[in-house]
Chain A
Amino acid sequence: MRNPFFAGVLALALAVGAQAAVSDTAAAGGQAVAEEAAVRKAIEQSIGWAVEKDFAAMFRLWGDDLFHFWLFSDSQVIGLENFKKFAEQWRDPDFRGTRFEFRDLRIRFSRSGDVAWYSCFLDDCGSYKGKENCLQNVFQTGVLEKRDGRWVHVLMHGSYPVDKVPEKYVRHFYRGLFQEGEKK
């Protein structure tokens, strides 16, 4: 380049651009970590709210159009208003959450970054009239969407493995599982 002025301007611009790119990457990385932490907290509080029993805080964790399948056949709930009715059972003063643990929690984000889905195993313990009872190894999956700056659950599905599958089918399909269990 013959003109030293333009060469200098170009070099400066490239340096500024490179620094901006590094800053953007770092900022994006920090943002991703922050979003994952926010999603994780929303997932955990969807169960953990029961320790403090803050219903208003719990309802803010759900989208208006939520869908909910839990362990039992009466646990299908569609929509926040129906969920509020469903939640009435937890207002019993003899009930309170005691502890919970999410294991193997795996969160994935959509390419757009504003939807997250997850899978995990859950232990969920509560007490009724002072006696603790736990649901253990519930397999839980779900979807959250970032709406108006908040991550809210729009789908949650919890289940236990194998219950009504015909045994013959299970034994064949999951042969390895049974052989492994029988060896033990």
Chain B
Amino acid sequence: MSCGAAGLVLLAALLASGSAAIAPTPASAPDRKAERVEITRVINSVIGWAKEKDLALFYGSIANDEDYVSVTPGKRVIKRFEDVKQNVPFWMSPDFQYVRHELKQLEITFARCGEVAWFFCVLDDINTYKGEPACWENARWTGVVEKRDGRWTVVQQHFSFAGE
């Protein structure tokens, strides 16, 4: 091997080892139990923020981007985070009061990569508006959460009621 060729081989080897060094290393085996607890907390926050009307908690639970999708039982499909804000005056109105909520039969499944999970449950979301019941009872709720920058975030969700 000539010196020139040897130099090229050495340089190529150095470049290859350098790129390997900066490539992301696989995450250590996740503590699924703790992750599940955290995902449950985040999912609960999507509804439970209304108790204290803690908007920061709500916004921190969902993806703040153009890809966020939320489907509610009405003819309303939110297709980006900014559109969520249209509903905020209603929720923050003193006329709207949280009473309680419950996630029943919640099941969370992790993707093999461990950085994404999806869930389903049946939701009771009990509220009042001007003292009158304003509730979702037995609403079907599915969604996707992704771990972004170390935090689990709801990136898509779908609420519906089953026809008989």
Contact A160:B163 (CB < 8 A) given known A145-B111, A177-B76: yes
Binding stretch for chain A, among B8-16, B29-37, B40-48, B54-62: B8-16
Are A75's CB and B116's CB within 8 A? no
Binding stretch for chain B, among A25-33, A38-46, A112-120: A112-120
Q: B8 contacts which chain A residues (CB < 8 A)?
A: 9, 12-13
CB contacts under 8 Å to A, within B106-135, are 107, 109, 111-113, 115-116, 118, 120, 129, 132-135
Q: B132 contacts which chain A residues (CB < 8 A)?
A: 168
Q: B4 contacts which chain A residues (CB < 8 A)?
A: 5, 9
A73 at the interface (CB under 8 A from B): yes
Are A73's CB and B144's CB within 8 A? no
- Chain A interface SS verdict (over half): mixed
B39 at the interface (CB under 8 A from A): no
Contact A166:B134 (CB < 8 A) given known A9-B11, A119-B69, A174-B76: yes
Closest B residue to A8 by CB, please name it.
Answer: B4
B77 at the interface (CB under 8 A from A): yes
Binding stretch for chain B, among A51-59, A64-72, A90-98: A64-72
CB contacts under 8 Å to B, within A162-181, are 162-166, 168-170, 172-174, 177
Q: B142 contacts which chain A residues (CB < 8 A)?
A: 67, 69, 141, 155, 157
Closest B residue to A121 by CB, please name it.
Answer: B77
CB contacts under 8 Å to B, within A73-118, are 73, 75-76, 78, 106, 108, 110-112, 114-115, 117
Closest B residue to A175 by CB, please name it.
Answer: B90
List the 4 shortest-distance A-B pairs measured between CB atoms, nearest first: A159-B160, A73-B162, A112-B113, A164-B161
